Amino acid sequence: MSIYDTLNPEQKEAVLQTEGPVLILAGAGSGKTRVLTHRIAYLIDEKGINPWNIMAITFTNKAAGEMRERVDKIVGFGSESIWVSTFHSSCVRILRRYIDRLGYENNFTIYDTDDQKSLMKEVCKKLNIDTKIYKERAILGAISSAKDNLVGPEEYEKSVMDDYGRKKIAMAYTEYQKELKKNNALDFDDLIVKTVELFQSCPDVLDSYQERFKYIMVDEYQDTNTAQFKFVSLLAGKYQNLCVVGDDDQSIYKFRGANIGNILGFEKVFPRAKVIKLEQNYRSTKTILEAANQVIHNNIGRKAKTLWTDNEIGEPVHYRQFMNGYEEAEYIAGDISKRVREGECEYKDCAILYRTNAQSRMFEEKFLMANIPYRLVGGVNFYARKEIKDLLAYLKTVDNGQDDLAVRRIINVPKRGIGLTSINRVQEYAAMHEKGFYECLKGADLIPDIGRGVSKLESFVALIEHFKVDAKELTLHELMQEIIDETGYIESIQAESEIEAQARIENIDELLNKVVAYEEVCEEHDEPVTLSGFLEEVALVADIDNLDENSDYVVLMTLHSAKGLEFPRVYLAGMEDGLFPSYMTVTADDPDELEEERRLCYVGITRAQSELTMTCARRRMVRGETQYNKMSRFLKEVPLELISTGNKFSGNGKSLTDHADHEEPERKTDYQMARQAFKTKAFAAVQQGKSFGKPAGGKLEYGVGDRVRHIKFGEGTVLSIVEGGRDYEVTVNFDGHGTKKMFAAFAKLQKI
């Protein structure tokens, strides 16, 4: 039996259709990754296509890694030649080779969000733009949007007409691009834009890549923007063997520039395109799918499809309404505790999804109290932490001295007595002579009025030049270690704050781990280990890539972050008009915006495999004010027969719309029953903790000086124990999180 016989008829059709443009409309959980990997295998094994001629594009490094892994298993020998990467990674590889054709040097730096903000701050200062009126973020957002649509500074300037505000943005855009080029740097948007520019201005380069990539596949096509679409259509222009996979119902990144028109209008751009629909879902129960279908069918701007499954009917969708957000969080924490305690599931089976990041706080508080391990996805990114950015800035400076931002970040880190006056004089001199900041540092003695600061500047340059020489001889992790040691970086953070020092040192250790891991991967794939390569990999890491599937914790994340993931039990929290859909969407009265929000709801529902709970609150604190909200219109679009509320509604086949706003007595009864469920579950979990905290003998199993372990904070030493009536107050110095005070009942500390 062939591996292709395991596919359903539609999946098989998608695999075998190898020639010409193909649009695969793959519903949530329909096995699109399986189709893509089998399609690649079919091209190699059955069609005899050279793996070298195949390109597969995904949106995250994680997805790219998984795809390559799966292809390796099916194909085996030769699959390493397939180009599997993200849009940005692909473009970086192309630009590293050919960007000199556009007047840049090939060792360019990639600016992250913080670097962009710093540069824009300088641009605004230079152009006398009032940042109280024109925020740096807003200007960068407008520039990013322009780049997504392949609108350059000149074209943008022509389009502003008499709009004073946009004229300011146009000025900033022109200067920002000028500064980027001077620093030999690109931002994320530039990676795509410059590659398109390269292809359009250098036909020979485009032709060489068209000849190489005769078969192109793009995953998550509904999330592409205009620039990404242009990049793909140029590459596929010669052979037209372009296969795109996506789901218009999961297009939720309009705010990032995603253009749903790319997938809805695919057949207009490629008239010969074959359209194949994958509608069989392998993830969710019949009930969950039906709820998702009923919600999304309210959208007009979509391609007609209805998901179905052979899976069991499953449990009804659980709906609970609470008086406020605290009760909602407490109910969910209690429900998870109870189910884990009774062996129904593990913590990692549960995910709480919400519309905005701010909603996580209450859940975090309740989880800490209930001792529930959790992981917040979308918090402070590892690479955004100060100590990590500092050390990466050293590496960037060693790799590319033209990166002014990186140089200025570390010139006085750790403190080496270089004052702001000296830095400003160098900056002014560089601007006047149109030279790079580091270049001017190398000739600091030539700068007027630099005074006594010149010797300190010269010693900094000598240090960097020393690292540059060593970089040619040392391995990457040896270079990293040398920078840490010779700058005295760890000693400096220990001197700043003893409490935070340990956690920051652990972050530095983790960065070293990353360097070593990068070296090992390069060796495995027989690729050269380069400083540029490492910095580019770091720049391209997505936050979601860090989600460890093997650890046992509840996952908290926004609905946007949840895309592409699945969990046995999903809690959709904050299902209220004004929160989801957002207040801006409700008041804007824009059908397109509302449809985007509904697609987001559809994504949330289809993350659930076996159980879905949707919760809302009658009132909620928003920006310090109490807000009273109706239940979400999306919740009302789920038919009542699919919902379990704890109360039997009269009527048959009606939705929540028919009851929630009109039958007041029944709504109250329903709420009371939901509240009763919350009480029994939440308080049962707390009481169990209390009995653990103070055993019958009145003694704890640990004492002052003992080593203990906490489920979230890890290991630490007990500093003091104070008896406080019904419980003990325990003070612990945790190795990685500093000193914490907590009640023994809630802490559940275990002696090591």
Residue 70 catalytic?
A: no
Residues in contact with 704: Cβ distance below 8 Å, sequence separation at least 6, in sequence order: 718, 719, 720, 721
112 dihedral zone (left: phi>0; alpha: psi -120 to 50; beta):
beta
Residues in contact with 170: Cβ distance below 8 Å, sequence separation at least 6, in sequence order: 153, 156, 157, 160
pLDDT of 420 strictly over 90: no
pLDDT of 31 strictly over 60: yes
pLDDT digits (tens, 9 = 90+) for 110-121: 998 888 989 999
What are the backbone angles phi and psi of residue 411, rounded to the nearest 5°? -60, -30
Which residue in 39, 168, 355, 607 is the catalytic one?
A: 607
Q: Give the model's pLDDT for residue 225.
A: 92
Residue 220 catalytic?
A: yes
Window from 270-274, 546-550, 638-642, 726-730 with minimum mean pLDDT:
546-550
Average pLDDT over residues 467-487: 91
Q: Give the model's pLDDT for residue 710.
A: 82
| Top-confidence residue, 280 or 114 | 280
Separation between Cα atoms, residue 128 and residue 698, nearest integer Å: 68
Q: What is the percent of the chain with per-residue pLDDT over 70, rounded to a whole number? A: 88
Q: Give the model's pLDDT for residue 286.
A: 95
Separation between Cα atoms, residue 641 and residue 659, nearest integer Å: 12
Q: Give the model's pLDDT for residue 686.
A: 30
Q: How confident is the model at residue 679 (pLDDT cuts 50, 70, 90)?
A: very low
Three-state secondary structure string covering 513-580? HHHHHHHHHHHHCCCCCCHHHHHHHHHCCCHHHHCCCCCCCEEEEEHHHHCCCCEEEEEECCCECEEC
pLDDT of 681 strictly over 70: no
Residues in contact with 492: Cβ distance below 8 Å, sequence separation at least 6, in sequence order: 413, 414, 415
Q: How confident is the model at residue 495 (pLDDT cuts 50, 70, 90)?
A: confident
The kind and range of the H/E element at 219 are none
Residues in contact with 752: Cβ distance below 8 Å, sequence separation at least 6, in sequence order: 706, 707, 708, 709, 715
Specify the pTM.
Answer: 0.70
pLDDT digits (tens, 9 = 90+) for 343-358: 999 999 999 999 987 7
Q: How confident is the model at residue 205 (pLDDT cuts 50, 70, 90)?
A: very high
Outline where DSSP puts E strands in 142-289.
185-187, 215-218, 242-246, 274-278
CB 311 within 8 A of CB 347: no
Q: Give the model's pLDDT for residue 1.
A: 63
Window from 150-154, 270-274, 455-459, 584-588 with minimum mean pLDDT:
584-588
Residue 250 catalytic?
A: yes
Q: Give the model's pLDDT for residue 623.
A: 52
Q: Give the model's pLDDT for residue 628.
A: 84
Q: Give the model's pLDDT for residue 12.
A: 93
Q: Give the model's pLDDT for residue 546.
A: 55
Residue 626 catalytic?
A: no
C-alpha atoms less than 13 angstroms from C-alpha of 662 in its C-beta half-sphere: 9
What are the backbone angles phi and psi of residue 105, rounded to the nearest 5°? -90, 150
Separation between Cα atoms, residue 752 and residue 749, nearest integer Å: 9
| Top-confidence residue, 122 or 544 | 122
Q: Give the model's pLDDT for residue 169.
A: 92
Most confident of the following: 426-430, 652-656, 735-739? 426-430
CB 394 within 8 A of CB 410: yes
Average pLDDT over residues 33-50: 89
Which residue in 115, 136, 179, 220 is the catalytic one?
A: 220
Task: Map tokens 């209450």 to a residue.
Answer: 362
Closest C-alpha among 344, 312, 367, 342 to residue 573: 367
Q: Give the model's pLDDT for residue 646.
A: 58
Structure tokens at 494: 């220990």
The amino acid present at 392, given as its one-letter code, is L
pLDDT digits (tens, 9 = 90+) for 524-567: 877 888 888 888 878 776 555 555 656 789 999 999 888 888 99
Residue 34 catalytic?
A: no
Distance of CA 166 to the CA centre of its chain: 30
Q: Give the model's pLDDT for residue 330.
A: 94
Instruction: For the beta carbon of residue 145, count every other beta carbon within 10 angstroms.
Output: 16
Distance of CA 377 to the CA centre of its chain: 8
- DSSP-based three-state secondary structure for 353: strand
Average pLDDT over residues 380-391: 79
Which residue in 122, 187, 219, 595 is the catalytic one?
A: 219
Cα diameter, the chain: 87
Q: How confident is the model at residue 381 (pLDDT cuts 50, 70, 90)?
A: low
Q: Give the model's pLDDT for residue 570.
A: 97
Q: Give the model's pLDDT for residue 509.
A: 83
Its sign, for the CA torsion 166, 172, 174, 177, is negative
pLDDT of 99 strictly over 90: yes
Window from 365-374, 455-464, 514-523, 651-660 with minimum mean pLDDT:
651-660
Q: How confident is the model at residue 508 (pLDDT cuts 50, 70, 90)?
A: confident
pLDDT of 683 strictly over 70: no
Window from 156-160, 508-512, 518-522, 674-678 with minimum mean pLDDT:
674-678
Q: What is the dihedral of CA 353, 355, 360, 362, to 10 degrees?
A: -100
pLDDT digits (tens, 9 = 90+) for 259-268: 898 899 898 8
Q: What is the percent of the chain with per-residue pLDDT over 90, rounded to a whole number? A: 43
Q: Give the model's pLDDT for residue 520.
A: 84
> What is the layout of strands, in order, in the sheet containing 707-710?
738-743, 727-734, 714-724, 707-710, 750-751
DSSP state of 4: G
What are the CA-CA distances from residue 161 to residues 153, 154, 170 (Å)? 14, 13, 11
Q: Strand 109-111 relative to strand 185-187: parallel, antiparallel, unpaired?
A: parallel
Which residue in 17, 18, 33, 174 is the catalytic one?
A: 33
pLDDT of 675 strictly over 90: no
Window from 15-29, 70-84, 146-160 with minimum mean pLDDT:
70-84
What are the CA-CA distances from residue 90 to residues 64, 96, 272, 700 (Å)? 11, 10, 27, 58
Q: How does the average pLDDT of the chain come out, rounded?
A: 84
| Top-confidence residue, 451 or 571 | 571
Which residue in 32, 504, 598, 599 is the catalytic one?
A: 32
